[in-house]
Amino acid sequence: MKIKFSTIIFLILITYSNLNSQITVQTTKAFKTGEVLEYDVYYSWGLIWVNAGYVKFSVKEDIVNNKTLFHFIGEGNSKKNWDWFFKVRDKYESYNDTSTLRPFKYIRNSNDGGEWVYNDVTFDFKNKSAVGYLKTKKEPALKTDTLKIKANTFDAMSMIYYARCLDFDLYKPNDEIPISILLDNKVYDRKITYLGKEKIFINTRTYKCIKFKPTLIPGSIFKEGDAMTVWVTDDKNRVPVKVETPIIIGTVQVYLKKASGLKY
């Protein structure tokens, strides 16, 4: 049951950002410093569901080079009673401009069942480039790449928060939206399909939601395609509340457990 936190990042919201300027971002942010979102991660074998892990996203502020930046933090862990089977201890961080949300720096420190990854990326939008440093268990020598980026290229963490500020009223069901994301020193162009609005029931509460299907990046867990479904709240906070996707063996579901420090 190799549920990597990098996949959970995708599960929760790397579902939408546009490569072009026609996307309109709300003038007010959907979040504020101090927000914390916590999720339970479930995995199924047939009819058996197991609460296998949890994920937490936090919004802070830090001063870098005399400039105040948003500091987005994502942490993922397996439950202790599952560590014997597959131990996960992952942390993702992104430092971003408080106005445009463009990333300045992105850091990934992940260890999934002994398969570790370290990735450190510095963005230079003036020169449309990013410098990434990457080490993995399979290739422990530090690898340096200079990548070409576009005006709306984001890392996995900053993508989540940028997406929550988009104006979804611009779309109609079945519209396809191109996306761009930098992950492990590669830039991927994908798309999501907007499915409309839907009410869902989670933990004694009904949510009015916006619903999407993203095109996934293939890997050891996902097959390439549009099988994943994501629900985010249809309000000013745009909080992801549920994600569901089949994987190579079984199904993963992610549910919002707790939200604090919301702006609205």
Domain ranges of the chain: 5-254
Q: Measured between alpha carbons, how far apart are the two ends of the chain, in Å? A: 37
Give the closest residue to 213 by CA, choosing from 14, 7, 45.
14
pLDDT tens string, the chain, 264 residues long: the values are 455 555 555 555 444 433 333 444 555 689 999 999 999 999 887 777 889 899 999 999 999 989 999 999 999 998 988 888 778 899 999 999 999 899 999 999 999 888 899 999 999 999 999 999 999 999 999 999 999 998 888 998 898 888 888 787 888 999 987 878 888 899 888 777 889 999 999 988 999 999 988 776 655 444 555 567 889 999 999 999 998 887 666 788 899 999 999 999
Phi, psi of 81 (to 5 degrees): -75, -5
| Tokens 């420190």 -> residue | 109
Q: Which helix (H) or strand (E) holds 211?
A: strand 205-214
Residue 133, token pair as written in the block = 């440093």
* Helix axis angle, 156-163 to 5-13, nearest 10°: 20
Q: Which fold has domain 5-254?
A: YmcC-like fold (2.40.360)
| Tokens 């249809």 -> residue | 234
Taken in order 149, 22, 191, 113, the sign of the CA dihedral is positive
In angstroms, rounded to a whole number, what is the distance separating the alpha carbons of residues 139 and 135? Answer: 6
* DSSP string for 148-204: E--TT-EEHHHHHHHHTTB-GGG--TT-EEEEEEEETTEEEEEEEEEEEEEEEEETT
* DSSP string for 11-77: HHHTT---SSTT--B-SS-S--TT-EEEEEEEEEETTEEEEEEEEEEEEEEEEETTEEEEEEEEEEE
